[in-house]
Homo-oligomer: A and B are copies of this chain.
Amino acid sequence: MDLRQALQAADIYRAASAEALAARLAVRPIDHEQRAAHGFAWVATTVAALDAVQAWCESGQGANPLDAKIAALAFAEGIGQLVGGLAMGQNEIFRPADLGVGAAARTLANSCSDLLDSDHAAMRAEIAAALADGHWPSETLHDADLDAIRDQFRRFTDAEIVPHAHGWHLANALIPDAAVRAMADLGTFGVCIPEDFGGLGLSKLVMCIVTEELSRGWIGAGSLGTRSEIAGELIAMGGTDAQKAHWLPRIASGEILPTAVFTEPDVGSDLGSLQTRARQEASGMWVIDGAKTWITHAARSDLMTLLARTLPDAKGYAGLSMLLVPKPRGTESDAFPAAGMSGSEIEVLGYRGMREYALQFDAMAAPADALLGGEEGEGFKQLMRTFEGARIQTAARAVGVARRALELGLDYALTRKQFGKAILHFPRVTDKLAMSLVDFVTARELSYAAARAKDSGRRCDIEAGMAKLLAARAAWSNADASLQIHGGNGYALEYEISRVLCDARILNIFEGAAEIQAQVIARGLIERRN
Interfacial residues, chain A to chain B (CB-CB below 8 A): 31-36, 38, 77, 80-81, 83-85, 87-93, 95, 97-100, 102, 116-121, 124, 263, 266-270, 273, 293-294, 346-351, 417-420, 426-429, 431-432, 435-436, 439, 476-478, 480-481, 483-484, 487-488, 490-494, 498, 501-502, 505-506, 508-510, 513-515, 518
Contact = CB atoms under 8 A, between A and B. Distances in A.
Contacts of A273: 419-420
Given A119-B36, A418-B268, A491 B351 contact: yes
B491 A509 contact: yes
B348 A90 contact: no
Contacts of A32: 427
A491 B507 CA distance: 11
Contacts of A89: 432, 477, 480-481, 484
10 contacts: A83-B84, A84-B84, A90-B481, A91-B478, A92-B481, A97-B118, A263-B488, A269-B419, A348-B491, A488-B509
A117 B95 CA distance: 9
A515 B120 CA distance: 19
B428 A492 contact: no
B80 A93 contact: yes
B35 A493 contact: no
List the 8 shortest-distance A-B pairs measured between CB atoms, nearest first: A84-B84, A90-B477, A34-B427, A91-B435, A347-B493, A84-B85, A270-B418, A428-B515
Given A92-B431, A349-B493, 6 more contacts: A80-B95, A81-B93, A83-B84, A90-B481, A484-B513, A491-B506
A347 B418 contact: no
A119 B97 contact: yes
Given A484-B513, A498-B349, A81 B85 contact: yes
A91 B36 contact: no
A348 B492 contact: yes
Interface centre among A99, A431, A513 (most CB of B within 10 A): A431
A262 to B, nearest CB: 12
Nearest to A483: B505
Contacts of A36: 119, 121
Contact of A493 (B270, B348, B478): B348
Contacts of A33: 121, 427
Q: Which of A88, A349, A350, A509 has the most CB of B within 10 A?
A: A349
Given A349-B493, A428-B34, A509-B484, A117 B90 contact: no
A487 B80 contact: no
A390 to B, nearest CB: 16
A350 B80 CA distance: 35
